[in-house]
């Protein structure tokens, strides 16, 4: 999926593989990275970008767990936290929607 930052091909120019790509900005803030690819490597390039994003997200979760002490929980304690969160979510949904219909 591609999003437009309002630049046409003539304004983007070519991307130099030596420079590592271009950062596009909107209102002075980065909104996209324009990098070189080829028809042969497009799928692998997209997979590498997704893997990098996933790695950053995983690092953030691990950092948060370390800061809150959640990284020291046992599997049993984690399961208990999940059960409690699900019960609270169900209770909130029941209050919003009323009782659930019974399926025979």
Question: Mean pLDDT throughout 78-82?
Answer: 95
How far is CA 85 from its chain centroid? 22
Q: Residue 7's pLDDT is what?
A: 54
Q: Residue 20's pLDDT is what?
A: 73
Q: What angle do CA 83, 84, 85 make, to 5 degrees?
A: 95
pLDDT in tens, 20-63: 788 999 998 999 988 889 999 999 999 999 999 999 999 999 99
Question: Mean pLDDT throughout 91-102?
Answer: 77
Torsion (CA) 55, 56, 58, 59 in degrees, nearest 10: 120
Domains of the chain, by residue range, sit at 9-95
Q: Does 1 or 71 have the greater pLDDT score?
A: 71
């Amino acid at each position: 999926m591609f999003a437009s930052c309002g630049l046409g091909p003539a304004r983007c120019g070519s991307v130099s593989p030596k420079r590592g790509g271009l950062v596009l900005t909107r209102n002075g803030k980065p909104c996209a990275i324009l990098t070189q690819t080829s028809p042969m490597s497009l799928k692998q390039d997209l997979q590498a970008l997704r893997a990098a994003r996933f790695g950053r997200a995983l690092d953030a979760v691990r950092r948060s767990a370390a800061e809150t002490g959640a990284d020291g929980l046992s599997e049993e304690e984690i399961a208990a936290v999940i059960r409690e969160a699900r019960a609270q979510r169900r209770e909130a949904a029941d209050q919003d929607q009323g009782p659930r219909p019974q399926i025979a």
